[in-house]
A and B are shown apart, each in its own frame.
Chain A
Amino acid sequence: MSFEIIKRDTNIDFVGMRKYAYVLSAALLLAGFLSLVVKGGPQYGIDFAGGFNVQVKFSQAVELDQIRQALDSPAMTGLVVQDFGDAGDNEVLLRASFSEQTANDVRAAVESGLTSAFPGVTHEVQRLEMVGPKVGADLREKALQAIFYAVLLIATYISGRFEQKWMVAGLMAAGLASVVYVLELLSAPMSLSVIVATIAALILCVVLRLKYALGAIVALIHDVMIPLGLFSLLNKDVDLTIIAALLTIVGYSLNDTIIIYDRIRENIRAKVSPSLDVVINKSVNQTMSRTLITAGTTFMAVFSLYIFGGGVIHDFALTMLVGVVAGTYSSVFVGAPILAFFKPRIDIDERVEKATA
């Protein structure tokens, strides 16, 4: 018979394990959250905070401290010098916060500072990025909006698709969008509105008994917060590409969650058992081999990107790696068991029967 990872009669009690899973998740989230609170929010990269990034390649190895001393000038306020890329590349990344200097001033300061400090070592400015405060604020806003609308649309889609509650879900989405719109008119910071909207979405899901959407949103918050918390612990910058990675994680993780939900729905219809706990467990076990294989192949691909993809894409790949693990875990241990949160009897909804027969 064929090659198998998961034996066919595996029956792990995932719902029974959910308490431990919740404790683990809460611990991870709390660690990240504390780090975020202590450090006053995520450490924004230049895309969001504004400033300069200069990537320089040297012809031979140089001491970071010497670079720091060489470039200590008014043009480079808040200078941070880090190693960049693979060892032996002799590349460094310089970061400075935004000042009245133009990118050309910074370029000139780097050129002259390095030339005089390291005679005989040639260097090349490979990349220079300057983001002004205005653009930074715009990008911050856009990133938050993107995350918010992603949550909104996905919650709507899931409620509609799994519970045939298109109307309710649509109303919820419209309500949330208008809440954010009003907050925007009151010129509340976008971050606050997104937090308020997300909490409102959770409450609405509970009140409207949109259990699938609730599971999806909880899993989603989980998957975004864990990499963010990790980045805060590692003192890594959050940039545009990181937000792109986070949104991809959202899509990927929900992909997992939906596959399990699909199976749950199918098993409910097949009247596998009157107990929801049993149905959820059976469904997670039935889809387990697929969950592991897809997570495995995705992990392989992203891992290869992380190792071989070069410095520019490094943090993106790291976020994806963490996200694939967190997303897979959350689909199995968070997204699925949370359906049992409402303690529902399985009363098969006639409309669901008709609509998807």
Chain B
Amino acid sequence: MGSLRWRALLAAFVIFLALIHVLPSIPSVRNSSLGALLPGDEIGLGLDLKGGIHLTLGVDLDAALSNAVTSIGQDLRLEAREKKILVLRPRLLDSRRLEFTLLKQEQRAELDELLGSRFATMQIISAEDGGNGQLRYVLGVTPDYVKYLQDLTMDQALKTIRNRIDQFGVAEPDIRKQQGNRIIVQLPGLDDPKRAINIIGRTAHLEFKLVDDGADVQAAVAGTVPAESELAYMQDKRGTSEVKTPIVLKSEVVLTGEYITDANVQFDSYGQAYVGMNFNARGSRIFEEVTGANIKKRLAIVLDGTVHSAPVIQDRIGGGRASITGQFTTEEAHDLAVVLRAGSLPAPVNILEERSVGPSLGQESIDKGMMAALIGGLLVVVFMSIYYRRAGLIAAFEIILDIFLILAGLAAFGATLTLPGIAGIILTLGMAVDANVLIYERIREELRHGESVAAAINNGFSRATQTIIDSNVTTIIAAVILYQFGTGPVRGFAVTLTLGILASMFTAIFVSRIFFDSWLARRQPGTQPSI
């Protein structure tokens, strides 16, 4: 009898624990004085229920490598020139290999020494005779440096994206690195996905280049571009359509966006929005030198390969301020300022996967899920009560308890409830009675075999328990595997399914037994159980 009391207390304690975990998820309770005493964890809703955007981004690590190898090639040419070693224009074979020609074979030892001392991140793959006393070198990036560079690029990309989202202002964003080159971004409850994605995905690589006014633009479009120059297009809005005008720029980058300390939206006297930028000390100095040396020439402002404007330099510009003009709407100017402030991405970022759900659909999913749960639950409860009479009522009570325990488990683990998660709960409604049915059928069987009521109940529980545990292991295996290999929503399903199975085992085996034992204790001799 003592054990019964303890078991009842334990069950009550579990229910109490569940209660304090579930209550904070009810808004009216959370905001009351009671809410202050309760633990702070509430059940989060998945993006498919509250609306929002889920993005999988792929950082183009090869492009980052190519950039690094290209700049190594440029450095190599400059350093070799200082040492009077003649190296012909280095070029990229692929993202990890650099090719160049040494003009005079006799300088080989000098060059190798230079490579060994100043360019330890590159290995010599081959140095073949290229005829005319030349040597054709192929260098490759060392694996260590590749790894270092990839990690660095990922960290920078993550930081930049975080910065941008923080500046844009989203409540509770979730940004995390995944294996390889992937970054997952989750933004709950956004009503303008287009804009958010533009901000996140834009490389925002800002460059200042001088315009090559001497070049023939027509010839450049036809394919003949002067050496050390390149063809670009200037973007211009006329009303709603965009016009692209060809323009020839000097290839040399005179200044980049990395010196920007601040960027903000400003308005000219016509009320037209533009973006003002401030440079740091070093950037200001470079900008002053460049503008001073190129008065009356045009300086192009290139953002992600497109020329935004190319104003004529009227005078040396000091003070480290510059501006980007264009026919911006206020919103566009604001977003551009955000990405410039947050810094450019170290490499292009591609959107590999996007899933956005509007808030109205999310609410609809919740309502429909609730409806399905209510009706499904009602059907099961009514059936059990009719079929097993009073024992059926116990089972029905336990189904409600199971759902309650699942919700408590979700809150305690800080898991999110997703639409498949709701499906998992509904499935549990049907499957949870299985444990009860196994026990009850067993008890009926034992009674038929002429066992005494107490023995029948005892045997029913003990024999069915083994079967219940055996049979539930497979569903748990399936759920664990789903969790392991699944993504967001499917994981939510796996979690609710597992919690549901554990809860149903606890209630059917442990809680039911308390009811039966207390009934046995109060039983008049000769009465039959209602089962």
Contact = CB atoms under 8 A, between A and B. Distances in A.
A254 interface: yes
A44 to B, nearest CB: 15
A247 B389 CA distance: 34
Given A102-B351, A125-B358, A316-B420, A302 B384 contact: no
A132 B357 contact: no
Given A247-B478, A255-B475, A301-B429, A294 B444 contact: no
A131 B54 CA distance: 11
A320 interface: yes
B420 A244 contact: yes
Contact of A298 (B198, B430, B444, B482): B430
Contacts of B448: 8
Interface in A148-172: 149-150, 153-154, 157-158, 161
Interface in A321-336: none
B48 A312 contact: yes
Interface in B418-434: 419-420, 422-423, 426-427, 429-431, 433-434
Given A2-B389, A146-B484, A130 B433 contact: no
A313 B434 contact: no
B328 to A, nearest CB: 18
A107 B198 CA distance: 13
A126 B474 contact: no
Given A127-B361, A248-B475, A255-B434, A132 B467 contact: no
B465 to A, nearest CB: 11
A92 to B, nearest CB: 13
Nearest to A147: B481
Interface residues of B, number: 77
Nearest to B435: A294
Nearest to B473: A157
Interface stretch (B155-163, B208-216, B363-371): B363-371
Contacts of A128: 193, 354-356
Contacts of A127: 355-358, 361
Contacts of B486: 142, 146, 240, 244
Interface in A72-125: 102-104, 107-108, 124-125
A132 B353 contact: yes
Contact of B474 (A2, A254, A308, A316): A254
A312 B358 contact: no
A305 interface: yes
Contacts of A259: 438, 467, 470-471
A308 B368 contact: yes
B365 A312 contact: yes
Interface residues of A, number: 74
A132 B474 CA distance: 34
Interface stretch (A20-28, A201-209, A285-293): A285-293
A312 B365 CA distance: 8
A247 B482 contact: yes
A184 B461 CA distance: 47
Contacts of B148: none
A130 B371 CA distance: 29
Interface in B447-492: 448, 466-467, 470-479, 481-482, 484-487, 489-490
B376 A305 contact: yes
A139 interface: yes
Given A294-B433, A300-B379, A126 B490 contact: no
B194 interface: yes
Interface in A246-262: 247-248, 250-252, 254-256, 258-259, 262
B481 A149 contact: yes
A301 B478 contact: no
Contacts of A289: 441
Nearest to B474: A254
Given A300-B376, A307-B372, A2 B427 contact: no
A256 B431 CA distance: 11
Contacts of A108: 194
A37 B389 CA distance: 51
Given A104-B198, A127-B361, A241-B490, A255 B353 contact: no
B481 A126 contact: no
A304 B374 CA distance: 9
A236 B86 CA distance: 66
Contacts of B194: 104, 107-108
A131 B353 contact: yes
Contacts of B361: 55, 57, 126-127, 312
A274 interface: no
Closest 7 CB pairs of A and B: A301-B430, A251-B475, A304-B376, A298-B430, A251-B478, A310-B368, A146-B485
Given A135-B56, A135-B352, A252-B431, 16 more contacts: A3-B386, A55-B361, A57-B360, A103-B197, A107-B193, A127-B356, A130-B354, A146-B484, A161-B473, A254-B475, A286-B445, A297-B437, A301-B377, A308-B375, A309-B369, A316-B420
Interface of B: 48, 56, 58, 193-194, 197-198, 350-358, 360-361, 364-365, 368-369, 371-373, 375-377, 379-380, 383-384, 386-389, 419-420, 422-423, 426-427, 429-431, 433-434, 437-438, 441, 444-445, 448, 466-467, 470-479, 481-482, 484-487, 489-490, 493-494, 497, 531
14 contacts: A55-B361, A127-B355, A131-B353, A244-B486, A250-B474, A254-B475, A256-B471, A300-B379, A301-B427, A304-B373, A304-B426, A307-B375, A310-B368, A313-B422
